[in-house]
A = this chain, B = another copy of it.
């Protein structure tokens, strides 16, 4: 990394990078990680396609949708590209089961892929262009996130939403073939649309800001294509995005080593549909259960220890499915009881299961300031007086212990089943792994649609 930030505006350099990026210069491992991100995304959106948040938003969006429509993942209805970008982003992030860029806690794909896929489907563009644009969008979004982390999220900004709009704008700019200047303006227009609050977790309002990030990034690029402009320093200026949001951006994070380091290589995929800080808690519980053949009746009480972040995020009861996904007692209880923490373990029946509720009541959280963020220790006192404990430093699915390609495929299968998807998930998985060979993205998008009721 250079000692001095390279000269020029952040948006100017990002715009030039996006416009100039050649597919040949994207390394093979970066391309492959992009495919993993997209497949994981498709599974996540399929998993929730029949849920009320999707159907409620569809009722708002269908009447205002233009006639040139594209696929809503897992649905028979179609929407104009703005509506589809919004709704597919909502779906991808709805379960908190999508990918995570751990350094920023950004979910990179939800705000970016839906814009790219909608635009590419509408215009009959090839899969390689989709993958390329997505990779660039994720790059821009995560770099801007790096430049303002960790203060940005801590201050209340839902970083997936606030930075996602830049990713969507950059990706859409690439797909539209905007020049460097237009891409710069697109990023500046995105800055004036960046919004989303941590306070609104875990309410529907959070999904709205994620959906808007996808929609508004696409909107920014289309407006820039028509001639709309933004201020040169919209991102880093004195009255610009970062500083208004309370951050002093580290410009080197945004513009250093463009085209040399790739943020998508730091992307991770969750094996459990809950907040990522709880994953080591679940790993530890599953390991303790297996090693000591624990049954519920064996467990007197449980102490989950971790960083202040873990406690801030999850020291709360679980009364519904949304809360359960950010509840230490619930995550630990289902993992100890069932040895799993899949979709079924966070559904309402599991949340209201008396056995789960009883065990939740015997689980408490405690601060262990010696543990790094992300690590957890689970200590179980058994009814027969034993003290068992397990510390997990790195969760399954983290950069240190990544999911395999096969596990990402299995996760997509699970999600499709959970979403009662009637389409051909095997064909989707196969197409996703060779997305860069698809002449147009249309057939893959058609596979992702649910057939209309007969």
Binding site for B on A (CB under 8 A): 52-53, 56-57, 59-60, 63-68, 80-83, 155-158, 161, 185, 188-189, 191-201, 203-209, 212, 216, 219-220, 222-223, 226-231, 233-234, 237-241, 243-246
User: Taking the nearest CB of chain B, how far is it from the CB of A415, in angstroms?
Assistant: 23
User: Taking the nearest CB of chain B, how far is it from the CB of A122, in angstroms?
Assistant: 9
> In the complex, which residues of chain B have a beta carbon less than 8 angstroms from the beta carbon of A200?
188-189, 191-192, 230-231, 234, 240
User: Taking the nearest CB of chain B, how far is it from the CB of A252, in angstroms?
Assistant: 21
10 contacts across the A-B interface (CB closer than 8 A): A158-B192, A193-B208, A197-B231, A199-B231, A199-B239, A199-B244, A203-B229, A204-B230, A205-B234, A208-B219
Q: Is the CB of B212 within 8 A of A191?
A: no
Q: Tell me the bound Cα distance from A240 to B206 in angstroms.
A: 12
> In the complex, which residues of chain B have a beta carbon less than 8 angstroms from the beta carbon of A231?
197, 199-201, 203, 205
Q: Tell me the bound Cα distance from A246 to B239 in angstroms.
A: 13
Q: Pick the contact of A57 from B155, B192, B196, B228 — CB < 8 Å?
A: B228
Q: Is the CB of A223 within 8 A of B56?
A: yes
Q: Which 8 A-B residue pairs are closest in the complex by CB-CB distance?
A: A156-B244, A156-B239, A204-B228, A199-B240, A205-B230, A56-B226, A64-B80, A195-B195
> In the complex, which residues of chain B have a beta carbon less than 8 angstroms from the beta carbon of A155?
239, 243-244
Q: Tell me the bound Cα distance from A245 to B195 in angstroms.
A: 10
Q: Is the CB of A205 within 8 A of B228?
A: yes
> In the complex, which residues of chain B have a beta carbon less than 8 angstroms from the beta carbon of A245?
244-246
> In the complex, which residues of chain B have a beta carbon less than 8 angstroms from the beta carbon of A81?
64
Q: Tell me the bound Cα distance from A237 to B52 in angstroms.
A: 27
Q: Pick the contact of A241 from B199, B219, B227 — CB < 8 Å?
A: B199
Q: Is the CB of A194 within 8 A of B195?
A: yes
Nearest B residue to A225 via CB reads B60
Q: Tell me the bound Cα distance from A191 to B83 in angstroms.
A: 20
Q: Is the CB of A244 within 8 A of B197?
A: yes
> In the complex, which residues of chain B have a beta carbon less than 8 angstroms from the beta carbon of A222?
60
> In the complex, which residues of chain B have a beta carbon less than 8 angstroms from the beta carbon of A238?
156, 199
